[in-house]
């Protein structure tokens, strides 16, 4: 959809050899967040984008170039676009709105265009329905800029007013609606009753229904639908409320991607690291060395990331090590190729070999970039994995992970929770609070007041903020879940003993003392709910889920599904925020 938009809203021709039309791209922060995880600067340039600029920055006039705008239809954005028209900044204007623009705002632009005598220059105005951010082939989030507006906290604040709640629900529904327009499919919606997820379902059903009824302007007919991969069978949309399981988001994790997200600064597929510049002490009185900030993109084209983002951390460390060793074996080859290409020092030998050099040169030209790219990825993952490892070791995250798994699966605990909380060497105050909340949420009956006081004192001594506990106490008293704590299966990670093989002296990673834990596959609550609904299994957990089919003429709400066949495709959306642990669990379940 983005490529089509950047090609002036006509599908790009695959093999056209001609130069692309050069143009500038003007986006707001929302547009930037949608494009940046999907298209690199190089890909933008291949599509003819010479400059990409923020709408609200100081932009110079480039009168002979068309401009493609990709922005939210907000008041201030539209004022600024009208100003651009008046200042005659560009040759022509292709206006694309991330979410549908209202009639009155469209009239504002029309008036400005007439006033600026620029009507002929406004080439096209499109609603793109792209108000969501795709982070993986199979994962999307609603937004990044104002994500606190649709967060768990925003939805569950005790003092929220009805109008605020309406606004939040409309924001969520707008993004989900855009998602289905882009997919070209009308889902069948299931949701739990009496939750925010139900409010989302009702609104989304209504919005899809109204759009289908207006046949002339429906977004789900004609060419777009054929393009949808799901034209034969409709997908299932499962709307889950975060409140059905609050333990998982608090849980410490053990797989690579989820760890990166938990312990590092990781947003929109980019991780920002602070590199410590060695340990050599600076002379007394000197200013401390500045830390280098480095950022890395973890993308779909990164084969190592794609292969290992769901692996347990010890496996990742081992794989990075193996890749490094296999690269070292090829390093001499790199030197040899470089010398063939005359990159390092001209010696007579190389020149005398010119006759049979052409064949070698061609192979060098083709294999050198590949090897250098491999090296770049190894360096990247060595740095990222080392940063994660430092957190694991300094906070004993392996111990937390294992202990929480035992709590959640009701296994016997090898040491007391009080000891864990009181251990000054294990974890930050936040780690301890997360652990205690998981214990509190997962326990069948709440701890006695006397015990609770003891835990509270230990938590305070460890420097924890107790506010989350008072929320969870109220929450537990109110939620449905209180009747039967969610079961997480009875599996615990099996330690394989401490690292033996990774520990050979050549290793980059000093894993001493970190437990080599291996995961056993078990379905988390979100995955279990999906499994019941997709496979049409009867289960008390999901039997009273509501059923909406926006294609049915009357909104006959029933929890009785018309469709008795299992679904082939599903979309799971957690109102209040999913997380990488659940994402990974779903991916493993599908496998």
- Please state the CATH superfamily assignment of the domain spanning residues 131-245+524-590 in this structure: Sec1/Munc18 (SM) protein, domain 2 (3.40.50.1910)
Q: Look up the CATH architecture of domain 397-482.
A: Alpha Horseshoe (1.25)
- pLDDT above 70 as % of the chain: 82
**Quick one: average pLDDT of 188-207?**
94
233-255: pLDDT as tens digits: 789 999 999 999 999 999 999 99
Q: Is 157 helix (H, G, I), strand (E, B) or coil?
A: coil
556-579: pLDDT as tens digits: 555 565 667 889 899 999 999 999
Model-level pTM?
0.86
pLDDT class for 506, splitting at 50, 70, 90? very low
112-136: pLDDT as tens digits: 999 999 999 999 999 999 999 999 9
Identify the burial level of 111 via C-beta atoms within 10 angstroms of its C-beta, where 0-12 means exposed, 13-18 middle and 19 or more buried.
exposed
59-117: pLDDT as tens digits: 999 999 999 999 999 999 999 999 999 999 999 999 999 999 999 999 999 999 999 99
pLDDT at 223 over 70: no
pLDDT at 287 over 70: no
417-437: pLDDT as tens digits: 999 999 988 899 999 999 999
531-551: pLDDT as tens digits: 999 998 888 888 889 999 998
Residue of 428, 491, 514 whose CA lies nearest to 463: 428
**For 273, what's the count of Cα atoms within 13 Å in the CB-facing half-sphere?**
20
* Topology alike, domains 1-127 and 397-482: no
Q: Is 137 helix (H, G, I), strand (E, B) or coil?
A: coil
Domain ranges for the chain? 1-127, 131-245+524-590, 397-482
Kindly report the average pLDDT of the chain as a whole number.
85
16-48: pLDDT as tens digits: 667 888 999 999 999 999 999 999 999 999 999
How many C-beta neighbours within 10 Å does residue 486 have?
Answer: 18
**Quick one: average pLDDT of 430-455?**
91
Report the interhelical angle of 467-478 vs 429-442 (nearest 10°): 10
Identify the burial level of 545 via C-beta atoms within 10 angstroms of its C-beta, where 0-12 means exposed, 13-18 middle and 19 or more buried.
buried
Question: Top-level CATH class of 1-127?
Answer: alpha beta
pLDDT at 363 over 50: yes
| Residue in the block written with tokens 């030998």 | 349
């Amino acid at each position: 959809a983005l490529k089509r938009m950047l090609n002036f809203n006509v599908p790009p021709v695959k093999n056209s050899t001609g130069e692309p039309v050069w143009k500038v791209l003007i986006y707001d922060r929302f547009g930037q967040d949608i494009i940046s995880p999907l298209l690199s600067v190089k890909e933008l340039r291949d599509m003819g984008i010479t400059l990409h600029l923020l709408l609200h920055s100081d932009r110079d006039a480039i009168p002979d170039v068309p401009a493609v705008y990709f922005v939210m239809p907000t008041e201030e954005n539209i004022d600024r676009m009208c100003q651009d028209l008046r200042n005659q900044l560009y040759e022509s204007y292709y206006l694309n709105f991330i979410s549908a623009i209202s009639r009155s705002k469209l009239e504002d632009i029309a008036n400005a265009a007439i006033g600026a005598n620029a009507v002929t220059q406004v080439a096209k105005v499109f609603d793109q329905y792209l108000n969501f951010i795709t982070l993986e082939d199979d994962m999307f989030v609603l937004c990044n800029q104002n994500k606190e507006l649709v967060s768990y906290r925003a939805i569950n604040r005790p003092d929220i007013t009805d109008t605020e709640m309406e606004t939040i629900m409309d924001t969520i529904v707008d993004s989900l609606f855009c998602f289905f327009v882009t997919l070209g499919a009308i889902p069948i919606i299931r949701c739990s009753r009496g939750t925010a997820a139900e409010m989302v379902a009702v609104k989304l059903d209504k919005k899809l229904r109204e759009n289908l009824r207006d046949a002339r302007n429906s977004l789900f007919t004609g060419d777009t639908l054929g393009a949808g991969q799901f034209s034969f069978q409709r997908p299932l949309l499962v709307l889950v409320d975060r409140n059905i399981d609050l333990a998982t988001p608090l849980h410490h994790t053990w797989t690579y991607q989820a760890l990166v997200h938990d312990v590092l600064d990781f947003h929109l597929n980019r991780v920002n690291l602070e590199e410590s510049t060695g340990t050599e002490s600076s002379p007394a009185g000197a200013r401390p060395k500045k830390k280098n900030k480095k950022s890395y993109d973890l993308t779909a084209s990164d084969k190592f990331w794609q292969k290992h983002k769901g692996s347990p951390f010890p496996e990742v460390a081992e794989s990075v090590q193996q890749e490094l060793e296999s690269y070292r074996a090829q390093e001499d080859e790199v030197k040899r190729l470089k010398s063939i290409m005359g990159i390092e020092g001209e010696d007579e030998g190389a020149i005398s070999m010119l006759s049979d050099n052409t064949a070698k040169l061609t192979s060098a030209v083709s294999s050198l970039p590949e090897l250098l790219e491999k090296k770049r990825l190894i360096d990247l993952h060595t740095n990222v994995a080392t940063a994660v490892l430092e957190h694991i070791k300094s906070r004993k995250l392996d111990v937390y992970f294992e202990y929480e798994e035992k709590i959640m699966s009701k296994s016997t605990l090898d040491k007391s929770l009080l000891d864990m909380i009181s251990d000054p060497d294990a974890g930050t105050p936040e780690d301890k609070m997360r652990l205690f909340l998981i214990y509190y949420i997962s326990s069948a009956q709440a701890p006695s007041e006397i015990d609770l006081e003891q835990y509270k004192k230990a938590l305070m001594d460890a420097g924890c903020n107790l506010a989350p506990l008072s929320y969870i106490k109220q929450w537990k008293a109110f939620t449905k879940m209180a009747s039967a704590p969610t079961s997480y299966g009875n599996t615990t990670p099996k330690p394989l003993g401490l690292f033996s093989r990774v520990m050979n002296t050549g290793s980059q990673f000093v894993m001493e003392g970190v437990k080599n834990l291996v995961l056993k596959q078990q379905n988390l609550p979100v995955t279990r709910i999906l499994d019941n609904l997709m496979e049409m299994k009867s289960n008390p957990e999901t039997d009273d889920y509501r059923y909406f089919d926006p294609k049915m003429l009357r909104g006959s709400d029933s929890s009785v599904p018309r469709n008795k066949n299992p679904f082939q495709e599903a979309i799971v959306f957690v109102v209040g925020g999913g997380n990488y642990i659940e994402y990974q669990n779903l991916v493993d379940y599908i496998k």
